[in-house]
Amino acid sequence: MSHFETDAIRIQNRSNEREHSSPIYLTSSFTFESAEEARAMFADEIPGNIYSRYANPNSSELIAKVCAAEGTEDGIATASGMAAMFGSIAALLQQGDHILASRSLFGSTHQLLTRVFPKWGITSTYGDISDYLNWEKLVQPNTKMLFLETPSNPGLEIIDLEWAGKFAAAHNLILVVDNCFATPYLQQPAKWGTHIVTHSATKYIDGQGRVLGGLILGKQELMKEVQFFTRHTGPSISPFNAWVLTKSLETLAVRMDRHCENALKIAQYFEGNPELDGVKYPFLPSHPQHHLAKKQMKAGGGIITLTLKGGLARAQRFIDQLEMISITPNLGDSRSIVTHPASTTHSKLSTEERARVGISDGLIRLSVGLEHHEDILRDVERAIEKSK
Ligand SMILES: *Cc1c(COP(=O)(O)O)cnc(C)c1O
Protein backbone atom coordinates (compact mmCIF):
# COMPACT_ATOMS: atom_id res chain seq x y z
CA MET A 1 0.00 0.00 0.00
CA SER A 2 0.99 3.62 -0.47
CA HIS A 3 1.39 6.22 2.27
CA PHE A 4 -1.49 7.06 4.63
CA GLU A 5 -2.25 10.38 2.89
CA THR A 6 -2.34 8.80 -0.57
CA ASP A 7 -4.55 5.84 0.38
CA ALA A 8 -6.97 8.12 2.22
CA ILE A 9 -7.43 10.07 -1.01
CA ARG A 10 -6.98 7.51 -3.78
CA ILE A 11 -8.82 4.39 -2.58
CA GLN A 12 -12.11 4.65 -4.43
CA ASN A 13 -14.99 2.55 -5.79
CA ARG A 14 -15.21 4.15 -9.24
CA SER A 15 -18.34 3.20 -11.19
CA ASN A 16 -18.81 2.79 -14.96
CA GLU A 17 -19.79 6.48 -15.11
CA ARG A 18 -16.07 7.40 -14.61
CA GLU A 19 -16.89 10.03 -11.96
CA HIS A 20 -13.90 11.71 -10.27
CA SER A 21 -15.51 12.20 -6.85
CA SER A 22 -17.48 9.26 -5.45
CA PRO A 23 -21.27 9.54 -5.78
CA ILE A 24 -23.73 8.76 -2.96
CA TYR A 25 -25.45 5.42 -3.50
CA LEU A 26 -28.90 6.06 -2.05
CA THR A 27 -30.34 2.64 -2.71
CA SER A 28 -31.73 0.07 -0.28
CA SER A 29 -31.01 -2.90 -2.51
CA PHE A 30 -29.08 -3.98 -5.62
CA THR A 31 -30.31 -5.87 -8.67
CA PHE A 32 -29.28 -9.30 -9.97
CA GLU A 33 -28.87 -10.39 -13.60
CA SER A 34 -30.63 -13.69 -12.93
CA ALA A 35 -32.09 -15.98 -10.33
CA GLU A 36 -28.82 -17.90 -10.38
CA GLU A 37 -26.74 -14.76 -9.67
CA ALA A 38 -29.06 -13.90 -6.75
CA ARG A 39 -28.64 -17.41 -5.35
CA ALA A 40 -24.84 -17.33 -5.68
CA MET A 41 -24.49 -13.90 -4.04
CA PHE A 42 -26.70 -14.89 -1.12
CA ALA A 43 -24.62 -18.05 -0.76
CA ASP A 44 -21.43 -15.93 -0.68
CA GLU A 45 -20.08 -17.81 -3.71
CA ILE A 46 -19.56 -14.60 -5.68
CA PRO A 47 -18.96 -11.09 -4.31
CA GLY A 48 -21.42 -8.25 -4.85
CA ASN A 49 -23.83 -5.88 -3.19
CA ILE A 50 -27.16 -7.35 -2.12
CA TYR A 51 -28.85 -5.01 0.34
CA SER A 52 -27.60 -1.87 2.10
CA ARG A 53 -28.03 -3.37 5.56
CA TYR A 54 -25.27 -5.81 4.50
CA ALA A 55 -23.03 -3.49 2.48
CA ASN A 56 -23.23 -0.43 0.25
CA PRO A 57 -20.55 1.05 -2.06
CA ASN A 58 -20.19 4.09 0.22
CA SER A 59 -19.64 2.06 3.38
CA SER A 60 -17.32 -0.33 1.48
CA GLU A 61 -15.17 2.61 0.33
CA LEU A 62 -15.01 3.97 3.89
CA ILE A 63 -13.99 0.55 5.27
CA ALA A 64 -11.33 0.03 2.59
CA LYS A 65 -9.74 3.40 3.39
CA VAL A 66 -9.72 2.93 7.16
CA CYS A 67 -8.43 -0.66 6.85
CA ALA A 68 -5.49 0.62 4.78
CA ALA A 69 -4.81 3.24 7.45
CA GLU A 70 -5.08 0.88 10.42
CA GLY A 71 -3.38 -2.10 8.78
CA THR A 72 -6.43 -4.30 9.37
CA GLU A 73 -7.86 -6.95 7.05
CA ASP A 74 -11.57 -6.18 7.05
CA GLY A 75 -14.24 -4.15 8.79
CA ILE A 76 -17.76 -2.87 9.04
CA ALA A 77 -19.11 0.66 9.38
CA THR A 78 -21.91 1.43 11.82
CA ALA A 79 -24.41 4.21 12.46
CA SER A 80 -22.51 5.55 15.50
CA GLY A 81 -19.43 4.88 17.55
CA MET A 82 -21.54 3.22 20.24
CA ALA A 83 -23.02 0.77 17.71
CA ALA A 84 -19.40 -0.19 16.96
CA MET A 85 -18.48 -0.61 20.65
CA PHE A 86 -21.65 -2.66 21.26
CA GLY A 87 -21.23 -4.76 18.11
CA SER A 88 -17.59 -5.60 18.76
CA ILE A 89 -18.49 -7.05 22.17
CA ALA A 90 -21.92 -8.56 21.44
CA ALA A 91 -20.75 -10.34 18.28
CA LEU A 92 -17.74 -12.01 19.87
CA LEU A 93 -18.83 -12.89 23.43
CA GLN A 94 -21.55 -14.99 24.93
CA GLN A 95 -23.29 -15.64 28.23
CA GLY A 96 -20.80 -16.45 30.97
CA ASP A 97 -17.88 -14.59 29.37
CA HIS A 98 -15.94 -11.91 31.21
CA ILE A 99 -14.28 -8.69 30.01
CA LEU A 100 -11.23 -7.05 31.55
CA ALA A 101 -11.31 -3.33 30.77
CA SER A 102 -9.42 -0.17 31.59
CA ARG A 103 -11.42 1.92 34.08
CA SER A 104 -11.07 5.13 32.09
CA LEU A 105 -13.62 4.47 29.36
CA PHE A 106 -15.96 6.62 27.35
CA GLY A 107 -19.16 7.18 29.42
CA SER A 108 -21.53 5.13 27.25
CA THR A 109 -19.01 2.26 26.99
CA HIS A 110 -19.00 2.22 30.81
CA GLN A 111 -22.83 1.97 30.72
CA LEU A 112 -22.62 -0.95 28.27
CA LEU A 113 -20.24 -2.88 30.51
CA THR A 114 -22.01 -2.15 33.80
CA ARG A 115 -25.72 -1.96 32.84
CA VAL A 116 -26.33 -3.62 29.46
CA PHE A 117 -24.10 -6.70 29.11
CA PRO A 118 -24.71 -8.00 32.66
CA LYS A 119 -28.37 -8.50 31.60
CA TRP A 120 -27.07 -11.18 29.21
CA GLY A 121 -24.62 -12.72 31.64
CA ILE A 122 -21.50 -10.97 30.29
CA THR A 123 -19.61 -9.42 33.19
CA SER A 124 -16.58 -7.17 33.43
CA THR A 125 -13.87 -6.00 35.80
CA TYR A 126 -12.04 -2.68 35.63
CA GLY A 127 -8.32 -2.33 36.04
CA ASP A 128 -6.59 0.94 36.84
CA ILE A 129 -4.33 2.28 34.15
CA SER A 130 -1.87 3.45 36.80
CA ASP A 131 -1.46 -0.21 37.82
CA TYR A 132 -1.80 -2.07 34.53
CA LEU A 133 1.43 -3.99 34.91
CA ASN A 134 -0.34 -5.87 37.74
CA TRP A 135 -3.45 -6.86 35.81
CA GLU A 136 -2.54 -10.58 35.88
CA LYS A 137 -4.55 -10.89 39.09
CA LEU A 138 -7.69 -9.56 37.38
CA VAL A 139 -7.82 -12.29 34.73
CA GLN A 140 -10.49 -14.93 35.48
CA PRO A 141 -10.88 -18.40 33.93
CA ASN A 142 -13.79 -17.02 31.84
CA THR A 143 -12.05 -13.79 30.74
CA LYS A 144 -12.30 -13.59 26.95
CA MET A 145 -11.69 -9.96 26.09
CA LEU A 146 -9.36 -7.09 27.01
CA PHE A 147 -11.04 -3.75 26.19
CA LEU A 148 -8.90 -0.59 26.25
CA GLU A 149 -8.98 3.09 25.37
CA THR A 150 -5.70 4.97 24.90
CA PRO A 151 -5.33 7.92 25.26
CA SER A 152 -8.24 7.82 27.69
CA ASN A 153 -11.10 10.30 27.81
CA PRO A 154 -10.73 12.77 29.46
CA GLY A 155 -7.74 11.81 31.66
CA LEU A 156 -5.37 11.35 28.67
CA GLU A 157 -3.77 8.32 30.31
CA ILE A 158 -1.70 6.13 27.99
CA ILE A 159 -1.55 2.32 28.02
CA ASP A 160 1.44 0.54 26.50
CA LEU A 161 -0.03 -1.14 23.41
CA GLU A 162 2.98 -3.44 23.05
CA TRP A 163 2.39 -4.69 26.60
CA ALA A 164 -1.36 -5.05 25.87
CA GLY A 165 -0.72 -7.13 22.74
CA LYS A 166 1.58 -9.51 24.64
CA PHE A 167 -0.75 -9.71 27.66
CA ALA A 168 -3.72 -10.57 25.43
CA ALA A 169 -1.73 -13.23 23.57
CA ALA A 170 -0.44 -14.79 26.82
CA HIS A 171 -3.99 -15.08 28.23
CA ASN A 172 -5.72 -15.90 24.95
CA LEU A 173 -7.89 -12.76 25.09
CA ILE A 174 -9.41 -10.80 22.22
CA LEU A 175 -7.79 -7.37 22.45
CA VAL A 176 -10.13 -4.50 21.51
CA VAL A 177 -8.81 -0.92 21.38
CA ASP A 178 -11.04 2.13 20.96
CA ASN A 179 -8.71 4.26 18.81
CA CYS A 180 -11.02 7.28 18.62
CA PHE A 181 -8.77 9.85 20.32
CA ALA A 182 -5.63 9.03 18.35
CA THR A 183 -7.12 8.22 14.92
CA PRO A 184 -5.27 5.80 12.59
CA TYR A 185 -3.07 8.71 11.50
CA LEU A 186 -1.40 8.93 14.92
CA GLN A 187 -1.59 5.34 16.18
CA GLN A 188 -2.25 1.88 14.67
CA PRO A 189 -3.08 -0.56 17.49
CA ALA A 190 -3.08 -3.56 15.09
CA LYS A 191 0.71 -3.12 14.74
CA TRP A 192 1.02 -4.13 18.41
CA GLY A 193 -1.19 -7.21 18.23
CA THR A 194 -4.64 -5.66 18.72
CA HIS A 195 -7.32 -7.93 17.22
CA ILE A 196 -10.17 -5.43 16.94
CA VAL A 197 -9.90 -1.65 16.51
CA THR A 198 -13.04 0.41 17.07
CA HIS A 199 -13.80 4.03 16.26
CA SER A 200 -16.30 6.72 16.79
CA ALA A 201 -15.94 8.25 13.31
CA THR A 202 -18.10 11.09 14.62
CA LYS A 203 -15.00 12.69 16.12
CA TYR A 204 -11.80 13.34 14.16
CA ILE A 205 -12.69 11.20 11.13
CA ASP A 206 -15.63 13.51 10.35
CA GLY A 207 -13.78 16.36 12.02
CA GLN A 208 -16.41 18.97 11.31
CA GLY A 209 -19.20 17.98 13.68
CA ARG A 210 -21.68 16.90 11.01
CA VAL A 211 -22.46 13.18 11.11
CA LEU A 212 -22.37 10.17 13.42
CA GLY A 213 -20.54 7.00 12.43
CA GLY A 214 -18.57 4.09 13.82
CA LEU A 215 -16.13 1.42 12.67
CA ILE A 216 -15.16 -2.09 13.73
CA LEU A 217 -11.95 -3.31 12.07
CA GLY A 218 -9.81 -6.39 12.47
CA LYS A 219 -8.73 -9.81 11.36
CA GLN A 220 -10.91 -11.53 8.75
CA GLU A 221 -11.87 -14.50 10.93
CA LEU A 222 -13.16 -12.26 13.76
CA MET A 223 -14.77 -9.84 11.32
CA LYS A 224 -16.80 -12.72 9.83
CA GLU A 225 -18.50 -13.10 13.23
CA VAL A 226 -18.95 -9.34 13.55
CA GLN A 227 -20.36 -9.07 10.02
CA PHE A 228 -22.84 -11.86 10.70
CA PHE A 229 -23.98 -10.03 13.84
CA THR A 230 -24.32 -6.59 12.24
CA ARG A 231 -25.93 -7.88 9.03
CA HIS A 232 -28.72 -9.43 11.06
CA THR A 233 -29.10 -6.86 13.85
CA GLY A 234 -28.95 -3.80 11.56
CA PRO A 235 -26.75 -0.98 12.96
CA SER A 236 -25.76 -0.04 9.37
CA ILE A 237 -24.37 3.39 8.55
CA SER A 238 -26.39 5.46 6.06
CA PRO A 239 -24.81 5.85 2.59
CA PHE A 240 -24.87 9.62 3.07
CA ASN A 241 -22.93 9.50 6.35
CA ALA A 242 -20.45 6.99 4.90
CA TRP A 243 -19.92 9.33 1.92
CA VAL A 244 -19.27 12.33 4.22
CA LEU A 245 -16.76 10.26 6.20
CA THR A 246 -14.85 8.98 3.14
CA LYS A 247 -14.50 12.56 1.89
CA SER A 248 -13.37 13.64 5.38
CA LEU A 249 -10.65 10.98 5.43
CA GLU A 250 -9.02 12.73 2.47
CA THR A 251 -8.08 15.60 4.80
CA LEU A 252 -7.52 13.68 8.05
CA ALA A 253 -3.71 13.85 7.87
CA VAL A 254 -3.52 17.61 7.31
CA ARG A 255 -6.21 18.28 9.89
CA MET A 256 -4.53 16.09 12.53
CA ASP A 257 -1.17 17.75 11.91
CA ARG A 258 -2.73 21.13 12.68
CA HIS A 259 -4.82 19.86 15.64
CA CYS A 260 -1.64 18.43 17.19
CA GLU A 261 0.48 21.49 16.42
CA ASN A 262 -2.12 23.85 17.95
CA ALA A 263 -2.65 21.61 20.99
CA LEU A 264 1.08 21.37 21.73
CA LYS A 265 1.52 25.16 21.46
CA ILE A 266 -1.40 25.79 23.82
CA ALA A 267 -0.28 23.12 26.31
CA GLN A 268 3.26 24.59 26.35
CA TYR A 269 1.93 28.13 26.76
CA PHE A 270 -0.25 27.36 29.80
CA GLU A 271 2.10 24.92 31.55
CA GLY A 272 3.22 26.58 34.78
CA ASN A 273 0.39 29.18 34.77
CA PRO A 274 -0.15 30.09 38.47
CA GLU A 275 -3.95 29.88 38.10
CA LEU A 276 -3.72 26.21 37.08
CA ASP A 277 -3.01 23.04 39.05
CA GLY A 278 -1.75 21.40 35.91
CA VAL A 279 -1.80 21.01 32.15
CA LYS A 280 -1.88 17.53 30.65
CA TYR A 281 -0.93 16.65 27.10
CA PRO A 282 0.69 13.38 25.94
CA PHE A 283 3.55 15.14 24.12
CA LEU A 284 4.52 17.40 27.05
CA PRO A 285 7.58 15.90 28.82
CA SER A 286 5.70 16.43 32.12
CA HIS A 287 3.03 13.86 31.11
CA PRO A 288 3.54 10.76 33.30
CA GLN A 289 3.54 8.41 30.27
CA HIS A 290 5.27 10.78 27.87
CA HIS A 291 7.76 8.06 26.81
CA LEU A 292 4.90 5.69 25.90
CA ALA A 293 3.07 8.38 23.97
CA LYS A 294 6.28 9.03 21.99
CA LYS A 295 6.72 5.31 21.37
CA GLN A 296 3.26 4.55 20.00
CA MET A 297 1.86 7.86 18.74
CA LYS A 298 3.08 10.01 15.87
CA ALA A 299 2.00 13.20 17.72
CA GLY A 300 0.10 14.06 20.89
CA GLY A 301 -3.44 14.45 19.51
CA GLY A 302 -5.84 17.36 19.73
CA ILE A 303 -7.07 17.11 23.32
CA ILE A 304 -5.51 18.80 26.34
CA THR A 305 -6.74 19.12 29.90
CA LEU A 306 -6.34 22.14 32.16
CA THR A 307 -7.02 21.93 35.89
CA LEU A 308 -8.17 25.25 37.30
CA LYS A 309 -7.46 26.23 40.87
CA GLY A 310 -10.77 26.78 42.70
CA GLY A 311 -12.65 23.59 41.80
CA LEU A 312 -16.12 23.28 40.34
CA ALA A 313 -17.27 26.89 40.76
CA ARG A 314 -14.12 28.27 39.13
CA ALA A 315 -14.35 25.79 36.26
CA GLN A 316 -17.93 26.83 35.56
CA ARG A 317 -17.06 30.54 35.77
CA PHE A 318 -14.19 29.91 33.35
CA ILE A 319 -16.49 28.26 30.81
CA ASP A 320 -19.01 31.11 31.07
CA GLN A 321 -16.27 33.65 30.31
CA LEU A 322 -15.19 32.04 27.02
CA GLU A 323 -16.16 34.12 24.01
CA MET A 324 -15.19 31.95 21.04
CA ILE A 325 -14.71 28.35 22.19
CA SER A 326 -17.94 26.31 22.01
CA ILE A 327 -19.62 24.61 24.97
CA THR A 328 -20.80 21.31 23.50
CA PRO A 329 -20.20 17.60 24.21
CA ASN A 330 -18.50 16.73 20.90
CA LEU A 331 -14.74 16.65 20.30
CA GLY A 332 -12.39 16.41 17.34
CA ASP A 333 -14.11 19.26 15.52
CA SER A 334 -12.52 22.05 13.47
CA ARG A 335 -14.01 24.35 16.14
CA SER A 336 -12.40 24.37 19.58
CA ILE A 337 -14.68 22.88 22.21
CA VAL A 338 -14.61 22.98 25.98
CA THR A 339 -16.20 20.43 28.34
CA HIS A 340 -16.40 20.24 32.13
CA PRO A 341 -16.48 16.46 32.73
CA ALA A 342 -17.29 16.60 36.48
CA SER A 343 -20.62 18.39 35.90
CA THR A 344 -21.55 16.83 32.52
CA THR A 345 -20.14 13.66 30.89
CA HIS A 346 -18.96 12.13 34.18
CA SER A 347 -21.50 13.64 36.61
CA LYS A 348 -23.08 10.22 37.27
CA LEU A 349 -19.84 8.99 38.86
CA SER A 350 -19.12 9.66 42.54
CA THR A 351 -16.30 12.06 43.46
CA GLU A 352 -14.10 9.05 44.37
CA GLU A 353 -14.89 7.27 41.10
CA ARG A 354 -13.99 10.42 39.21
CA ALA A 355 -10.76 10.77 41.16
CA ARG A 356 -9.78 7.21 40.17
CA VAL A 357 -9.98 8.14 36.49
CA GLY A 358 -8.19 11.46 36.97
CA ILE A 359 -11.18 13.82 36.88
CA SER A 360 -11.02 16.52 39.53
CA ASP A 361 -13.71 19.20 39.93
CA GLY A 362 -11.52 21.84 38.30
CA LEU A 363 -10.63 19.74 35.23
CA ILE A 364 -11.45 21.24 31.83
CA ARG A 365 -11.20 19.20 28.62
CA LEU A 366 -10.21 21.33 25.66
CA SER A 367 -10.61 19.86 22.19
CA VAL A 368 -8.26 22.12 20.29
CA GLY A 369 -9.67 23.10 16.91
CA LEU A 370 -8.23 24.41 13.69
CA GLU A 371 -8.67 28.14 14.41
CA HIS A 372 -5.43 30.15 14.63
CA HIS A 373 -3.70 29.04 17.83
CA GLU A 374 -3.29 32.65 19.04
CA ASP A 375 -7.06 33.18 19.00
CA ILE A 376 -7.71 29.97 20.97
CA LEU A 377 -4.97 30.92 23.39
CA ARG A 378 -6.31 34.44 23.90
CA ASP A 379 -9.85 33.16 24.59
CA VAL A 380 -8.57 30.69 27.23
CA GLU A 381 -6.25 33.25 28.81
CA ARG A 382 -8.96 35.90 29.06
CA ALA A 383 -11.38 33.40 30.66
CA ILE A 384 -8.74 32.30 33.19
CA GLU A 385 -8.23 35.93 34.22
CA LYS A 386 -11.93 36.85 34.31
CA SER A 387 -12.91 33.75 36.33
CA LYS A 388 -10.53 34.56 39.21
C1 LIG B 1 -17.64 9.66 21.22
C2 LIG B 1 -16.95 8.44 21.61
C3 LIG B 1 -17.58 7.18 21.50
C4 LIG B 1 -19.02 7.03 21.04
O5 LIG B 1 -19.19 7.43 19.73
P6 LIG B 1 -20.56 7.99 19.11
O7 LIG B 1 -20.24 8.21 17.68
O8 LIG B 1 -20.92 9.22 19.87
O9 LIG B 1 -21.61 6.93 19.31
C10 LIG B 1 -16.85 6.08 21.88
N11 LIG B 1 -15.59 6.17 22.33
C12 LIG B 1 -14.96 7.35 22.47
C13 LIG B 1 -13.56 7.40 22.97
C14 LIG B 1 -15.60 8.53 22.11
O15 LIG B 1 -14.97 9.71 22.24
Q: What is the pLDDT of residue 23?
A: 96
Across 127-136, 161-170, 323-332, least confident range: 127-136
pLDDT in tens, 64-110: 999 999 999 999 999 999 999 999 999 999 999 999 999 989 989 99
Between CA 102 and CA 125 the distance in angstroms is 8
pLDDT for the residue numbered 133: 82
Instruction: Give the distance (Å) from ligand 1 centre to CA of residue 221.
Output: 25
pLDDT at 131: 84
Phi and psi, residue 193, nearest 5°: 95, 15
Mean pLDDT of the chain: 96
**Checking DSSP bridges between strand 98-102 and strand 123-127, what pairing results, if any?**
parallel
- In degrees rounded to 5, what are phi and psi of residue 174? -80, 120
Q: What is the pLDDT of residue 356?
A: 83
Model pLDDT for residues 169-215, shown as the tens digit of each residue: 999 999 999 999 999 999 999 999 999 999 999 999 999 999 999 99
4-249 in CATH: which number? Answer: 3.40.640.10
Residue 284 has pLDDT above 70, yes or no: yes
Predicted confidence (pLDDT) per residue in 11-62, tens digit: 998 999 999 999 999 999 999 999 999 999 999 999 999 999 999 999 999 9
- Please report the atom of ligand 1 found closest to the CA of residue 203: 1
Strands (E), the chain: 74-78, 98-102, 123-127, 143-149, 174-178, 196-200, 214-218, 276-280, 303-308, 326-327, 337-339, 363-367
Distance in angstroms between the alpha carbons of the first and the last residue of the chain: 53
Among candidates 24, 12, 173, 171, which has minimal Cα distance to 93? 173
As annotated, the residues of the chain forming the CATH 3.40.640.10 domain(s) are: 4-249
Pocket lining for ligand 1, CB < 6 angstroms: 80-82, 85, 106, 108-109, 149, 153, 178, 180-181, 200, 202-203, 212, 214
- The ranges of the chain annotated as CATH 3.90.1150.10 are 252-386
Whether the per-residue pLDDT at 347 is higher than 90: the answer is: no
Distance from residue 47's CA to the centre of ligand 1 (Å): 32
DSSP state of 341: G
Q: Tell me what pLDDT residue 1 has.
A: 61
Query: Which of 109, 158, 200, 339 most suits a substitution to test ligand 1, by most atoms within 8 Å of the C-beta?
Result: 200
Superfamily for 252-386? Aspartate Aminotransferase, domain 1 (3.90.1150.10)
